[in-house]
Structure 1
Amino acid sequence: MQKKDCFYLGKIVKKYSFKGELLIKLDTDEPDLYENLDALFIDLRNNLVPFFLESSQLHKSDLLRVKFEDVDTEADADALIKSDIYLPLEFLPKLEGNKFYFHEIIGFTVTDINYGVVGTIKAINDSTAQALFEIDRDGVEILIPMNDEFINNVDRANKTIVVETPEGLIDLYLDEN
């Protein structure tokens, strides 16, 4: 299993008991979806290693208390603390309407209501305060904020996203060249 086939679920933050139990801080709005997993992948030295669960239950709101098979001591548990947890992409709940996962819209065509076809989404930049669509238009990069007010429609069947951006935003990128 490779990271590109998985999504980040959370991080092991601390031990829970003396019997090898651990707490995973989940990076999700719906922690209860992940309460009854059979297995998950732990990133150990940049390799995703499958770990099978003896038990798991939600602990407080966004922590998952887990007991892995063959992790029976504090030392075993200590070795896993601060490790990132991943699951295969097929475990992601399906999103409907205009909600989407960043990975699923790469390659979609962006069309602006007033401007027409803008280009193809090549990446999502989420390192800024506002996530941005990185769009390629014949070699020119156009950045459009991923603002709910700008997104009119996500059409998965036709791999298009219809936006309505402020007048002149797209022209800013094209006038420079």
Structure 2
Amino acid sequence: MEKWFNVGKIVNTQGIKGEVRVISKTDFPEKRYKVGNVLYLFMPNSNTPIELTVKSHRTHKNFEILSFEGFHNINEVEKFRDGIIKVPESQLGVLEDDEFYYHEIIGCLVSTTEEEEIGKVTEILSPGANDVWVVKGKDGKEVLIPYIHDVVKKVDVKEKTIIIDPMEGLLS
């Protein structure tokens, strides 16, 4: 049975030429939405995916704007609203060293180099230059950990552990 991973949600149309607005949930939008890539659209109340091939991609404000081959106007893509875009596990591909998929990081236990347990990664934010990992501690407080080499020292996705060397003030 194929495992599927969410890469975005179609929230609206964009213009009249068949483009859609996507709130992206993917780790690598530049790779995932590349022209020619095949994505799979899952609509609410349907288990049968619609296969879509990316015709164009651009970023506008906080949205990824996509068009698909064979869909040329707003009337043809309006029905895609609220659909979830997914890719099969077989399409994930090999990553460089120090690159990880979100699903590999979420759930990892974060500790310091001094072996102090901080908590588990619950979410990943992509505000700009680097990702920020949201770590929820035992006390329920959230700590934001920037994914930069000065802080994140070791990631073991098999063991689901992350070792960090927190900068001064990061954990307070």
> TM-score band, normalised by the shorter chain?
0.5 to 0.7
Aligned partner of 2:56: which letter? H
Q: Which residue of 2 aligns with 1:126?
A: 125
Shift of 1:145: 2.1
Q: Are 1:29 and 2:13 an aligned pair?
A: no
Q: Which residue of 1 aligns with 2:62?
A: none
- Cα deviations by residue, 1:13-59 (Å, 9 ceiling, x for unpaired): 3453xxxxx4355641225656242x6123447x6651134xx3532
Q: Which residue of 2 aligns with 1:144?
A: 144
Separation in 2, partners of 1:31, 1:169: 32
Shift of 1:165: 0.6
Q: Are 1:156 and 2:163 an aligned pair?
A: no
Q: TM-score, normalised by structure 2?
A: 0.62
Tell me: CA distance 1:88–1:61, structure 2 relative to 1, closer, same or farther (3 Å). closer
- Cα deviations by residue, 1:64-108 (Å, 9 ceiling, x for unpaired): 42337xxx997443333x444411451333434322233222232
Aligned residue among 33, 43, 59 for 2:56: 59
For structure 1, the residue ranges without an aligned partner over 5 or more in a row are 17-21, 173-177
Separation in 1, partners of 2:126, 2:37: 32
3-state SS of the aligned residue for 1:157? Answer: coil
- The share of aligned pairs that are identical, in percent, is 19
Which of the pair has more CA radius of gyration? 1
Q: TM-score, normalised by structure 1?
A: 0.61
Q: Which residue of 2 aligns with 1:50?
A: 49
CA RMSD of aligned residues (A): 3.9
Q: Which has the higher helix share?
A: 1
Provide the aligned length of Structure 1 versus Structure 2: 154
